[in-house]
Amino acid sequence: MTADFDRAALIQAAIDNQKRSYAPYSHFNVSAAALMGSGKMYLGVNVENASYPAGICAERNAIFHAVEEGERKIVAIAIVGGSEYTIRDYCAPCGICRQVMREFCDPREMKIILAKSVTDYKELTLEELLPLSFGPDDLA
């Protein structure tokens, strides 16, 4: 399933969901759509807080929702972001989000889609974004 999924639908879901972002401080609105091994998609947005560390990134929001529903394998995630709900450039996940992704995937297979639109995107594996990663298999 890794290579065979509807990238346009995943990207469009992230774009459509961006309006739900809560970013009154940075005004940088991020949305993510995570496709899980079951084929189900989970959405997340960044949610800021006046106490900055209490906020959460869109990617972790989507992944944690999926995990709460019993999902354990991320196939792909589409990420969009930009100031004042306007997507101008590719929006890469932060280091913490990359590490959380690593917990629930094979980094050689999981696809990360950084999108400006459904036709303008970059696709990378988690291994490309997080080389020499530390994960669950290191603790076996």
Distance between CA 95 and CA 74 in Å, rounded? 17
Residue 69 identity (one-letter amino acid): E
70 in any annotated domain: yes
15 to 72, 116, 122: CA distances (angstroms): 24, 9, 15
Q: For position 18, what pLDDT does the model report?
A: 98
How would you write the pLDDT of the chain (140 residues) with one tens digit per residue? Answer: 446 999 999 999 999 999 999 999 999 999 999 999 999 999 999 999 999 999 999 999 999 999 999 999 999 999 999 999 999 999 999 999 999 999 999 999 999 999 999 999 999 999 999 999 999 999 98
138 in any annotated domain: no
Strands, DSSP E only, in the chain?
Answer: 28-36, 41-45, 74-83, 111-115, 121-125
Distance between CA 140 and CA 110 in Å, rounded? 21
Q: For position 1, what pLDDT does the model report?
A: 44
Q: For position 3, what pLDDT does the model report?
A: 63
Distance between CA 120 and CA 20 in Å, rounded? 22
60 in any annotated domain: yes
Q: What is the number of domains present in the chain? A: 1
- Host domain of residue 32: 7-129
pTM across the whole model: 0.96
Catalytic annotation, pick one of 48, 59, 84, 109: 59
Distance between CA 136 and CA 112 in Å, rounded? 20
2 in any annotated domain: no
Active site residue 123: no
| Neighbour tally for 111: CB within 10 Å | 20
Is the C-alpha dihedral spanning 41, 43, 100, 82 positive or negative? positive
CATH value at residue 121: 3.40.140.10
For helices 95-103 and 58-68, give the axis angle rounded to 10 degrees.
20
Q: For position 140, what pLDDT does the model report?
A: 81
